[in-house]
Every structure is written in C-alpha cells, then in structure tokens.
Structure 1
Amino acid sequence: MIKSNLVLATTLLVAAATVHAGGNPEFVPYPPNYQKSMVHYATLNRGNGKQVAKMYADHATVDAYRNGKPAPTGAWVIMEVYKAKFDANKQPVVGVDGIFEIAGPAATAVMHRLDSWPAGFPASDRAGGWGFAMYTPDGKPKENKLECAKCHVPLDKQDFLVTHDRLMKYASQH
C-alpha cells in the first residue's frame, strides 16, 4: 500500500510539473544534439535587458527562408537563454561586440512547426503552425508562467518569429 501511494504521488508530481511547464513539452519535444544538427544564426541581447539569446534553426528552415518561403512543417527554432553578468551598479556588462557578457545558462526555448498537431494540443497554445516549450539547459521541462503563443501570434507577417529578420539575413548570406 505504501509503495503504491509513493508511485501515485510521484506520478502526480511529474504530471503537475509537466502541466505547469512553459509551453507544451508533451507536444514539443526537446531536440537532442540540436547544436550539431542546426545552424547558429544569431546571438543577441534579449529585450528584458537581463539575458542573452543564442538562436538556432534547422537547415530546411534556412533553405525555405533563402527561397522566400515560410518555415516548412517539421521546422525547428531554438533559443538558448543565458543570464547576463551585472556590474556593481546592477547594469549588464556589455562586451566589445555589444552583446551582454554571459554569467551562465538559464533555459532553452523550443519552437517546432507542424501542419497538423494532435487534437489534445490546444490551438490557443500555438501561433500559426508553431508549438512552444521551455526546457532547462539540460533538456528537462522548465516550469514558468510564460504564454509563448500570445507574444508570437501578432507576428504572423514574419512567420511568427521574433528573430525573423535575423534568420532571413543569415539565410541570404549562407
């Protein structure tokens, strides 16, 4: 009886963590080895003034953008999020390239595009065909209160990507 209660409690705890994770990791998986299989198209300071983002996209997405098309079904865009270093005045330390110096990893945001999602994945949690999930730097679902789709839905003219211009520039040069 004690063992079955422990198993039930553990199962409920894992389920609760998944339900409250940013985005939908149950539908948008963490892509292993993405740093080797995708292109790093940009590094930028995030708009919150506290983080740096390293952006990755799969080769098919880069090819589609190079040819003036939207990202294909199966596309991936990954954002590695890093904490910035701060000085004694609580200002981010800026490197010679204008990018904040990195203090350490914070999270990995995953966007995955499909033309058809399972029925259990609410349309309100997607932007266009893009689904979202937030993970820890080591690939475990990360709990947060972000509603990713709400920020991406208004970006329909740029394939729902905040960094669309940077990805287009990368695609045109490579």
Structure 2
Amino acid sequence: MERDRILRFTPVDHPDARVQRVGFDLADPYVEQCWSAVVGPSSTLLLRRMPALWLRQVPAEVGASDLSQSLGLGAGVGEHSRLLSTLDRVVRYRLARPATEGAGLEVFRQVSPLTPRQLVQVPQWTRDTHERLFDAHLGQIDDLARHQANVASITSRLDRIQNGTGRPTSGITPHGPTLQR
C-alpha cells in the first residue's frame, strides 16, 4: 500500500438478511464491547469510525497514512503495515468485503451477534456483555415490531372509518390522492 494511497469505504447492508434484521449498527456499543475481543482494538475502532466518515462523504475516502495515524497504528502503510492487517481482519471476519467496483472496501452497516464458536473463545466478561446487550437488542426489535403492528392496525381502522364502507382504502384514485372529510 503506497504511503499516499486513498482508501475508499462504501457502506452496504450486510448480505445476510438475518443480520440485517437482528444485527447491530456500527455505532452500537455491542461492536466495541463484544466484537473487540474477536477482531482487536484497531479493527473495532475502524468500524466505529465509519459512520462518522460517511457523514462527510459516501463513499468515504481517506489517505492510508492519515487513517493509519488516526487509528493509532503509526505512519507505516507498507506491504506489512498494521493498517493492512487491520483491513484484512475486517474482511476475514466478514465485517466488510472487497469492493465489487474499483478499489476499496464495502463495509457492512450491521455486524452480526457473535457466534457460539466466537463466544467460547472470548472472556467471560464479553460473554456476559453479549448476553445482556443481545437480549436488550432483541427486546427493542420486538417492541418495534409491536409498535409497527399497532400503527398498521390503527391506520387500517382509520381508513375504514373514513371510507365509511368498513373496508380499508388507500385514499388514492386514478386522479391522485383524495382528501376525505
């Protein structure tokens, strides 16, 4: 990796629909508190940095030397650099993949919960934290699903009331939306 090389990081949804449903956003404390025991601190910091970089520009573009220094890895960006090892680790653990077009990485917006195999290999504190955070996360997903079902039910009832027929209506006619009074 040349010293002044520009690295490109593109945000993409995780390719596994299950991770999209129950995974953790990169800004979630789960990434730091659980995944760091698996991928190490520099990979964790890289993942946590991505959402901030994407606020400025998508895809995020940053100089290899600047990124390496900002992650506390020093200025070395050669073939055997710590930055290269960090980037390799996020790909190896399926937190990112090489970009399909051009250079750089596609970084998944979500990380999966740790697998049973990974949980066996981490300290007890991390296993306890995983259980606490994952249980809370699943509870939030259930709460959101219940809330969405309630909103859909209320919307359907309001449609029936406004329609006066007892059947739901979208409020759209061939001539555009209608205002029902």
Pairwise TM-score range, normalised by the shorter structure: under 0.3
What is the TM-score normalised by the length of structure 1? 0.26
What is the TM-score normalised by the length of structure 2? 0.25
Structure of greater Rg = 2
* Richer in strand (by share): 1
